Chain A
Amino acid sequence: GENVEQHPSTLSVQEGDSAVIKCTYSDSASNYFPWYKQELGKRPQLIIDIRSNVGEKKDQRIAVTLNKTAKHFSLHITETQPEDSAVYFCAARNFGNEKLTFGTGTRLTIIP
C-alpha cells in the first residue's frame, strides 16, 4: 500500500518569512495530493491540492509543487502570519482508490 513520509515534524518560522513542508510517497500510481490544515480542536481543512498532470499550483500565499519522478511534493507558505500556526498534513491517493494516505503531520509555529 501507499506510504507517505512528511518532514519536518515541527517547524518554527519568524512572521513574514516562508515555510516549506515536504512529503514523499511510495506508490508511483498515486495521482492526487491534498494538503490539510488543522488548528487545535478543529477539523482538518483542505488548503490546496494538486493532481499529477501539473507540476505546481498556487493560491495567494500558498503553493504546492510536485515532482513525479522523485515522488515528492511540497507545501510552500510565503509571508507567514500568526494565523498560519497549525498542524499541516499532506496526503496521497490513487485515482479510483477511496483511501487517502496521510503523512504524519507538521506542527508549524509562526513567531511574531
Chain B
Amino acid sequence: DTEVTQTPKHLVMGMTNKKSLKCEQHMGHRAMYWYKQKAKKPPELMFVYSYEKLSINESVPSRFSPECPNSSLLNLHLHALQPEDSALYLCASSQVPGTDTQYFGPGTRLTVL
C-alpha cells in the first residue's frame, strides 16, 4: 500500500457538532501531518506527529484536537467549529521526520454551517 487515505471525503457539520477526520497510511512512515487548505492558497501546516508524539502545533485553536493512536493512524477531532474553518483538510506522511518527502492524502472537504 503506497497511499495515504482519508475519511470522510466530505463532511458538513454545524457549529455545535463534534466530528472526527481520519487518516491512515501503511507505508511504515513515522511522521504524519495535518494541513488546512483554503481555496487558491497553499497548504497551511497545523500539526506534526513524529514517532507518534506531537512535535509541532502551529498555534492551532483548541477546537481542533489531533490524536495519533498508533504509527499508521492519525485523527483530527473537531468541536465547536466556526464557518471560517470550512476548508480542505489534508493529511500527509513521510518516512523519517524532517528528512523525507511528504505524501498527501486526498483530503476531507469540510463545510461548517
Interface residues of A (CB under 8 A from B): 32, 34, 36, 42-46, 49, 87, 89, 93-100, 102-105
Rounded to whole Å, the gap between the CB of B49 and the closest CB of chain A is 9
Are A100 and B45 in touch, CB under 8 angstroms?
A: yes
Knowing that A98-B31, A98-B56, A100-B102 touch, tell me 4 more A-B residue pairs with CB under 8 angstroms: A42-B106, A49-B101, A105-B40, A105-B41
- What's the A-B contact tally at a CB cutoff of 8 Å? 49
Are B103 and A46 in touch, CB under 8 angstroms?
A: yes
Are B99 and A45 in touch, CB under 8 angstroms?
A: no
Number of interface residues of B (CB under 8 A): 22
Are B90 and A98 in touch, CB under 8 angstroms?
A: no
Are A98 and B55 in touch, CB under 8 angstroms?
A: yes
Are B42 and A104 in touch, CB under 8 angstroms?
A: yes
**In-complex Cβ contact of A43 among B33, B101, B107 (8 A):** B107
- Interface check B64, CB cutoff 8 A: no
B residues in contact with A105, CB < 8 Å: 40-42
Rounded to whole Å, the gap between the CB of A26 and the closest CB of chain B is 16
Interface residues of B in 25-71 (CB under 8 A from A): 31, 33, 40-43, 45, 48, 50, 55-56
A residues in contact with B105, CB < 8 Å: 43
Are A89 and B98 in touch, CB under 8 angstroms?
A: no
Give B100-113 as 1s and 0s: 1 = Cβ < 8 Å from A's Cβ atoms. 01111111000000
The CA-CA distance from A85 to B16 in the complex, in Å, is 39
Given A98-B50, A99-B48, A99-B56, A45:B42 Cβ within 8 A: no
B residues in contact with A89, CB < 8 Å: 42-43
